[in-house]
Chain A
Amino acid sequence: MSRIIERVRQALGVRANDGRDTLVFAKSDDFVHCAEAKATERDGWMESIRIEAKALNLRVHECPDLDACGEAIASLARERDPEWGTVKQIMRWSDPLLDGLGLEGRLGAEMAVKSVPGADSFSQSEREEFRREVIASYIGITTADYLLADTASLVLLGGRGRARSVSLVPSIHIAVVPRSRMLASYRQMLSILGAMDLPSNVSIITGPSKTADIEATLVHGAHGPREMHLFLVAS
């Protein structure tokens, strides 16, 4: 490794430890303050999200509270059929917000509603079991840490009780997000992320999957979820 770094230094005509770090990693004031700017929802954010979502084929549902949200999601689950096989199963993140949806109660008689196990570690067989359960699920439900108004993007940080595959493997991805988590822009999000200890995995998701590889024709539904719903909860 050091041989290549040495070669790079020679190519650049520089020396190690000559204080360039400061310049290279400097942040502009504007960027730093971006995070500090209070992220109260402003006029136009909701409209921006609706407009972006339409082009993305992202379905946006605005709900007054978790109860209404839970009912709407249950309705959706009843209407939709699994893409692979016939058995309906839902996998959701473990999260107080999602607990409040009451899906186990609403749907428990009709289909399995499973939660990502929240544990400090997992055995190999526990991981394999979880993997099978996610693959068997036709709907994956997550929350999001932030919702970006300029692009209608969801930001999902990795962590306990959360799994990456829940927003990826099932055919339908449902994200439940309180309106209070809206941010203005990608830049503001980066600024906020920059001020925290980041996990090893951050996913920013903007609509369902798509491709235009055949004759530049846009097709929704490539390898990731082919359908995506954003449920925005007022409080």
Chain B
Amino acid sequence: MTKPKRVTLFIQCIVDSCFPEVGEAMVKVLERQGLILDYPPDQTCCGQPAFNAGYRDEAARLALHYLDGFEHAEVIVCPSGSCVNMVRHHYMELFAKDPRRLERAKRVAAKTFEFTEFLVDALGVTDVGATWNGEVTYHDSCHLLRGLGVKDQPRALLSEVRGLTLVEMTRSDECCGFGGTFSAKYPEISEALLETKLANIQAAGTGAVVGCDMGCLLHMQGMIRRRELPISVHHIAEILAGED
């Protein structure tokens, strides 16, 4: 892809309301690439929480809101694999019976990217000029990995960060147990999966974990804080925005 004139930001609701610094880090990285950014202020949510719980008509209202807000963008970048997965795959399911909206959804899906896949696949960039001293391990979020097929891109970006050593954990691709409302409705199971994930992170011996999805990361951080575990949690945007 040739460098786009303008990049439109889609900021996941979790990032917007709880972790705005992740959005800011992504902005910093993108601007360092010389990109001009837009942020449609009316954006809210992709509708995923409703969709996962089975409330598709309700999710469709928000999907429509996304179409209205973003379909005229040149390219859309989002710091969350699960939201992009929602747009690229589930919007088609929501509008399967409405040809006009389906067409709009397809067009907007084709230009919606997750942050790391945008940098590596669309811009062809792996060295974003970042520095971050330390060892980290990387968690493959389910929707990002299996929904979007994004596996190598984050690793390629991390490998170019000066001072950073990436140590792979056992079964990095195993679900952390978040799963949306599942985490509150089936807490025992959710926690069991999370415990396994945190044990694998600790076994990697890095003291720090990186991921691309705040859903997973806040889930991990939730138990890390409760149990006061010595693991720091980072969204990849923060690592890539790191400077000397």
- The answer to A–B direct touch (Cβ < 8 A) is no
Please give the residue numbers on chain A whose beta carbons come within 8 Å of chain B beta carbons, in ascending order.
none
Please give the residue numbers on chain B whose beta carbons come within 8 Å of chain A beta carbons, in ascending order.
none
